[in-house]
Amino acid sequence: MQDIKQQTEALTVRDAVRYRRSIRKFKATAVTIEQLEPLLEDAVYAPNHKLTEPWRFLYATTDEAKEAFIKRFITFFKRNNPEAKEEKINQYRDYFSQVPALLFVVLKENENPVVRNDDFAAVSALIQNFQLLAWDQGIGMVWKSGRILYDQDFQQDMGLKENERFAAILHIGYPEEVPEVKSRQKASSLLTELK
């Protein structure tokens, strides 16, 4: 596989889909909101039934903003892991302080469960668009989920409204290391003709 952004022209859609990787180790190079905003402007063209546009974004790219998130994360982590050792807490602190940018994707939750499911699908498509657009610019990320996305105290600390929740926390930066491709099950083995 070619090294990320050693190509001289834009990736094809197929190459972006096939060669994008989840990045967990980042270079110290800064990633600014000025770099991310144009990617988001394109990413919002995700399929979105009835054009509800059920998203908004919070970001942390400065040391101060990341430190504010780290404090909130550690509060969440200690509340849910009261036996956690200081060593583990410091590992999280060190990791998050070294991530160049964090993007919090906020999902507006509709009361109607069908619309809510459609909206989550739209937000997921937006996130994939954003990942592929960033990858084309040499920027990698990992899409994080988990219990923190549903924690009401954390949501409140982060300023979410009552009808909102996090869909993802994206850790973003220039890749220090690009993992090897992991094999996927062949789609043809999952394809069934209706009769």
HSE-CB of 39 using CA atoms within 13 angstroms: 24
Helix (H) or strand (E) holding 101: strand 101-108
At residue 1, the pLDDT reads 42
pLDDT at position 2: 47
CB 52 within 8 A of CB 122: yes
Residue 11's pLDDT is 86
Question: CB atoms < 10 A from the CB of 61, how many?
Answer: 20
CA distance 10 to 105: 26
**Residue 55 near residue 107 (C-beta atoms within 8 A):** yes
CB 141 within 8 A of CB 100: no
Q: What is the pLDDT of residue 3?
A: 54
- Cα–Cα distance between 52 and 123 in angstroms, integer? 10
pLDDT in tens, the chain (195 residues): 445 545 446 889 999 898 999 999 999 999 999 999 999 999 999 999 999 999 999 999 999 999 999 999 999 999 999 999 999 999 999 999 999 999 999 999 999 999 999 999 999 999 999 999 999 999 999 999 999 999 999 999 999 999 999 999 999 999 999 999 899 999 999 999 999
Distance CA 90, CA 167 (A): 26
**pLDDT given at position 4:** 53
